[in-house]
Amino acid sequence: MYTIYNQRFNSNEWFVIGMLIIGGLAVWKLPKRFSVKESLVYFLYFVFVGIIFDHTVGIKPFDFYDVNDSSAYQLMDFLSYVSFGPFGYLFIYLYDCFKIKNSYNTIYIFCWTMSALVTEYIADILGVYHYKNGYEFYYSFPIYLMILTSDLLLYKVLSSKKADADLKSNFHGH
Amino acid sequence: MAVAIFVFIAWVIITVYLFVPRRLSTEENLLLFFFFTIITINIFTILDLNLQLIQHSNEVKMFISFLIHRNIIIPLALIIFVNLMSNIGSKTKKLIITVLIFLTIYLVNLVAFGIGLLTCDSSSLYLPSAIILAALMLIAFLTMKLVMKLPEGKSV
């Protein structure tokens, strides 16, 4: 049936709750730059890709890893995906806030990928992830690159649509 | 064969989505698509991994078809549903659209069971399958109403 790694409320649960609190506080306290809907898109995008990847490579026939205390799907697993959300928002927020130029996109994505890998490594040590069938944490590197690049593309598409809409409304206004 | 069938169904759904009149904005469509996919994946995982009521095939070709069904066909069909619901005024038309979309997803689900993409231990898969899809459509409709009420300006 299920593989049970531990049944206590310990390091892995505290890590997920800690990430939720840190991320949530950052999103709440930072001055707002986007509309509610746009903010929710950036927030939900990371939850969406997190769940898609985990529920693709983390289930049979691949079954590369389990999340948290057992191989069954638990509330804490879901919360660990929700904890990705604030970082998706912050990734775009900081990009927009510092007005990072296109020539620095690669460096920006690389820095975030490295910090995501370090976070995953810490999460692995604390028992959030349990790798199986030969999977190693650094295999996530290309996945993070892909997710962050697509998130930035999403921001660019939404920004250009917003700019077009502003231009149209200004044109009709005059 | 299974991959070809599900790629074709996904193509039809994507094409319909592109031609359906959309009152919802790009942000609203994206937001709802992400949300519907998250809900669908959660429902499938709980039914499969935890309750072992409906299980997906472990054969790679079937698994690819399962991913297309779970991640594209169902969420996009729900997106088409909410776009039409927000665009149509007449209650009769709304009812017809609801029934048509329900039957479409239900039939695709039956195809998934028929070709062995999904298997079910229970002798009757028709009613539970219908209840799950109806619940998904209700959640989709209520979420669409909620998202449309969100303010346009910067979050407080």
Kindly calculate the radius of gyration of chain A based on its CA atoms and give it in whole angstroms: 18
Distance of residue A34 Cα from the nearest chain B Cα, in angstroms: 5
pLDDT digit string (tens) for B136-156?
999 999 999 999 999 876 654
Contact A7, A69 (CB under 8 A): yes
What is residue A7's predicted lDDT score, i.e. its pLDDT?
85
Provide the b/e sequence for A68-103 (b: ≥16 CB within 10 Å).
bbbbbbeebbbebbbbbbbbbbbbbbebeeeeeeee
Chain A positions in Cβ-Cβ contact with residue B42 (cut-off 8 Å): 51, 73, 78
| Closest CB from A37, A51, A61 relative to B63 | A61
Q: pLDDT > 70: what percent of chain B?
A: 96
pLDDT digit string (tens) for B39-75?
999 999 999 988 888 889 999 999 999 999 999 999 9
Report in angstroms the alpha-carbon separations of A117 from A53, A136, B38: 15, 11, 23
Phi, psi of A70 (to 5 degrees): -150, 170
Compare all CA atoms of chain A with the CA of B153 and give the residue at the minimum distance. Answer: A35
Q: Answer whether A154 touches B (CB < 8 Å).
A: yes
Query: Hey, what are B30's tokens?
Result: 């994206």
What is residue B103's predicted lDDT score, i.e. its pLDDT?
97
What is residue A164's predicted lDDT score, i.e. its pLDDT?
84
What is residue B156's predicted lDDT score, i.e. its pLDDT?
47
Q: Do B50 and A48 touch (CB under 8 A)?
A: no
Position with higher pLDDT, A129 vs A1: A129
Q: Model ipTM?
A: 0.93
| Closest CB from B60, B147, B153 relative to A35 | B153
Q: Answer whether B147 touches A (CB < 8 Å).
A: yes
Residue type, B31: L
A 10 A CB-CB count for B90 gives 9
The whole-number average pLDDT for the span B5-19 is: 96
Q: Answer whether A12 touches B (CB < 8 Å).
A: no
Q: CA B65, CA B57: separation in Å to the nearest integer?
A: 10
Q: Answer whether A35 touches B (CB < 8 Å).
A: yes
The whole-number average pLDDT for the span B80-88 is: 95
Distance of residue B31 Cα from the nearest chain A Cα, in angstroms: 5
Q: CA A166, CA A172: separation in Å to the nearest integer?
A: 10
How far is it between the farthest Cα atoms of chain A? 68
Q: CA A82, CA A20: separation in Å to the nearest integer?
A: 8
The whole-number average pLDDT for the span A112-135 is: 96
Compare all CA atoms of chain A with the CA of B55 and give the residue at the minimum distance. Answer: A60
The whole model's pTM is what? 0.94
pLDDT bin (cut points 50, 70, 90) of residue A143 is very high
What contacts A44, CB < 8 A, 6 or more positions away? A85, A88, B31, B34, B35, B38
pLDDT digit string (tens) for A13-34?
999 999 999 999 999 999 999 9
Distance of residue B113 Cα from the nearest chain A Cα, in angstroms: 18
What is residue A174's predicted lDDT score, i.e. its pLDDT?
61
Position with higher pLDDT, A31 vs B120: A31
What contacts B87, CB < 8 A, 6 or more positions away? B21, B22, B23
Which of A12-26, A39-53, A81-95, A160-174 is the least confident region? A160-174
What is residue A42's predicted lDDT score, i.e. its pLDDT?
97
Quick one: angle between helices B74-87 and B126-149, nearest 10? 50
- Asked if pLDDT for residue A110 goes beyond 70, the answer is yes
Average pLDDT across chain A, whole number = 94
Chain B positions in Cβ-Cβ contact with residue A166 (cut-off 8 Å): none
Angle, alpha carbons A104-A110-A111 (nearest 5°): 90
A and B: number of Cβ contacts within 8 A: 79
The whole-number average pLDDT for the span A90-98 is: 97
Q: Answer whether A153 touches B (CB < 8 Å).
A: no
The whole-number average pLDDT for the span B1-9 is: 95
What is residue B80's predicted lDDT score, i.e. its pLDDT?
97
Query: Hey, what are A135's tokens?
Result: 């999977």
* Closest by Cα among B43, B105, B112 to B79: B105
Distance of residue B2 Cα from the nearest chain A Cα, in angstroms: 16
Compare all CA atoms of chain B with the CA of A161 and give the residue at the minimum distance. Answer: B26
Q: CA B153, CA B143: separation in Å to the nearest integer?
A: 19
Count Cα neighbours of B79 within 13 Å in the Cβ-side half-sphere. 31
Which of A3, A30, A32, A36 to substitute to test the interface with B, most B CBs within 10 Å? A36
| Closest CB from B46, B150, B154 relative to A73 | B46
Which of A163-167, B29-33, B41-45, B74-78 is the least confident region? A163-167
Q: Answer whether B42 touches A (CB < 8 Å).
A: yes
Provide the b/e sequence for B129-143 (b: ≥16 CB within 10 Å).
bbebbeebbebbbeb
